[in-house]
Amino acid sequence: VENAVKKAKAASFSKKIEAEVTSATDALKAAEAGADIIMLDNFSPKQIREAVKALKKAGFFGKVLLEISGGITEQNLLEYASTQVNIISMGEITHSVRALDVSLEITRIGNKGKKTSSKQRRPI
């Protein structure tokens, strides 16, 4: 984690560097290496709170943005939102969306004001 963040920082002074981590230990390493954003991927709310506590203890909380992703749904969103993170990413919004059946009705006005109608169904 540290080497990847340091190399990314060295490559550009004007871009934000985000590190995706899978443990509180790696979150600390990413913060120490200078990451601007740390994504806590597939953490439970309890694990997020532990990472936040560790970052606070090390003096990094509030200096880096914290993003969470993985396993967040409409049903558990409030629980995740209470963990003091800055950004919540929800893949469910795009990969679990239900299809929408839409139809289009076209009405043609023919000669002498007569209306004729045709219904067509086309998938979107």
Domains of the chain (ranges, CATH numbers): 2-95 (3.20.20.70)
Q: How many C-alpha atoms does 64 have within 13 Å on its Cβ side?
A: 29
User: What is the pLDDT at residue 122?
Assistant: 58
Better-predicted residue by pLDDT, 121 or 4: 4
| Secondary structure percentages of the chain, helix, strand, coil, to 5 | 35, 25, 35
For 103-122, write each residue's pLDDT tens digit: 888 877 766 656 555 555 55
Residue 71 CB-density burial (10 A; 0-12 exposed, 13-18 middle, 19+ buried):
middle
CA-closest candidate to residue 91, choices 17, 54, 41: 41
Q: What are phi and psi of 91, to 5 degrees?
A: -65, -25
Rounded mean pLDDT, 47-60: 97
Rounded mean pLDDT, 61-73: 95
- Please give the distance of CA 105 from its chain centroid, rounded to a whole number: 37
Better-predicted residue by pLDDT, 55 or 96: 55
Better-predicted residue by pLDDT, 68 or 7: 68
**The whole model's pTM is what?**
0.71
User: What is the pLDDT at residue 104?
Assistant: 84
